[in-house]
Amino acid sequence: MTYCVGIEVDEGLVFAADTRTNASVDDVRVHRKLHAFEYPGEAVFVLMASGNLATTQLLVSRLQRDVEEQRTPNLRSLRHLFEVAEYVGALLVDSQVKCRDVEHGHDGVNTQATLILGGQIAGERPGLYMIYPLGNAISASPETPYLQIGESKYGKPILDRIIRPRTRLDDAARTAVVSLDSTIRSNLSVGLPLDLALVRRDELRIGGQLRLSGDSPLYADIHRNWAHRLEQAVAALPRFPWEQQA
């Protein structure tokens, strides 16, 4: 019950996630799935998660604790983003095991989680990784400059048509919101509010962050304008032969 998307373009990174964790008829719950870690002048990281909420919360707590207690490694001690991905992957595997031990005896409980990790370390370019439950990771590429987790299929077509490395960062952010809006339209398990964060290249901080709810004027405008422009685009498509003969 999640949809998260991370986008990497030349100007930086975009992160967007819904907040729904349960979607039964009379029990809708929300939790933050987008977590930011800022170390001004050193590094900035954003983590988004799909899967077991207890595993995710344990993982985030351990990442914060490792920095506070100056354990090695931690988010501030690593010099390369791929090392951060390896470190987070190892913590994810361990957190899944710990949650599984707690749930021992509860058959059918899945403690796995999948992550999107992105950010920038001083002296390096920004980057974006997907981290799987086994701890292994893949990075975004110029050919596929975005990564998705959760209910990804409904939001994928707009990303494929719009996102390129040269896409402006703010346009990429709007595309991410439309991708989430399209998913919400088709899938009850993904829902508002949405969390959005931007990391501009070489700023080493969160360049913009907001939450969009159903009554947010900005979200309402994007939702309405996108639907209206789609209708206009369909109406402007070339006519069929039988229409031209009429």
pLDDT, position 125: 97
* Predicted pLDDT of residue 246: 56
* Residue of 207, 210, 211, 212 whose CA lies nearest to 38: 207
Mean of the pLDDT values across residues 67-81? Answer: 98
Q: What phi and psi, each to the nearest 5 degrees, are found at residue 60?
A: -60, -40
Which of 18-27, 92-101, 209-218, 232-241 has the least mean pLDDT? 18-27
Report pLDDT for 210.
Answer: 97
Res. 108: pLDDT tops 50: yes
Residue 243 has pLDDT above 60, yes or no: yes
Give pLDDT, residue 27. 58
Name 38's bridge partners.
44
Q: What is the torsional sign of CA 11, 128, 74, 1?
A: positive
Q: Is the pLDDT of residue 48 over 90?
A: yes
pLDDT mean across residues, the chain = 94
Return the half-sphere exposure (C-beta side, CA atoms, 13 A cut-off) of residue 126: 31
Q: pLDDT confidence of 58, banded at 50, 70, 90?
A: very high
- The 10s digit of each residue's pLDDT in 125-180 is 999 999 999 999 999 999 999 999 999 999 999 999 999 999 999 999 999 999 99
Burial (CB count <10 Å: 0-12, 13-18, 19+), residue 70: exposed
Q: What is the mean pLDDT of residues 42-57?
A: 96
User: Distance between CA atoms of 107 and 127, rounded to whole angstroms?
Assistant: 38
Q: Which residue pairs, CB below 8 angstroms and at least 24 apart, start in 161-166?
A: 163/7, 163/9, 164/9, 165/8, 165/9, 165/10, 166/9, 166/10
Q: Domains in the chain and their CATH numbers? A: 3-237 (3.60.20.10)
Per-residue pLDDT averaged across 34-52, rounded? 97
Residue found by looking up tokens 């919400």 in the block: 184
Read off the pTM: 0.94
Contact (CB, 8 A) for 5 and 159? yes
Q: Is the pLDDT of residue 193 over 90?
A: yes
From CA 216, how far away is CA 100, in angstroms rounded?
39
Beta-strand relationship, 127-131 and 113-121: antiparallel
How many beta carbons lie within 10 A of that of residue 150, not counting itself?
24
- Say what percent of the chain tops pLDDT 70: 94
Contact present, 196 and 19 (Cβ < 8 Å)? no
25 has a pLDDT exceeding 80: no
Whether 245 has a pLDDT exceeding 80, the answer reads no
Top-confidence residue, 16 or 108: 16
Work out the number of other CB atoms within 10 angstroms of the CB of residue 233. Answer: 9
pLDDT band (50, 70, 90) for residue 189: confident
Per-residue model confidence (pLDDT) at position 22? 66
Question: So what's the pLDDT on residue 206?
Answer: 98
Task: Identify the bridge partners of residue 4 per DSSP, sorted by sequence position.
Answer: 17, 149
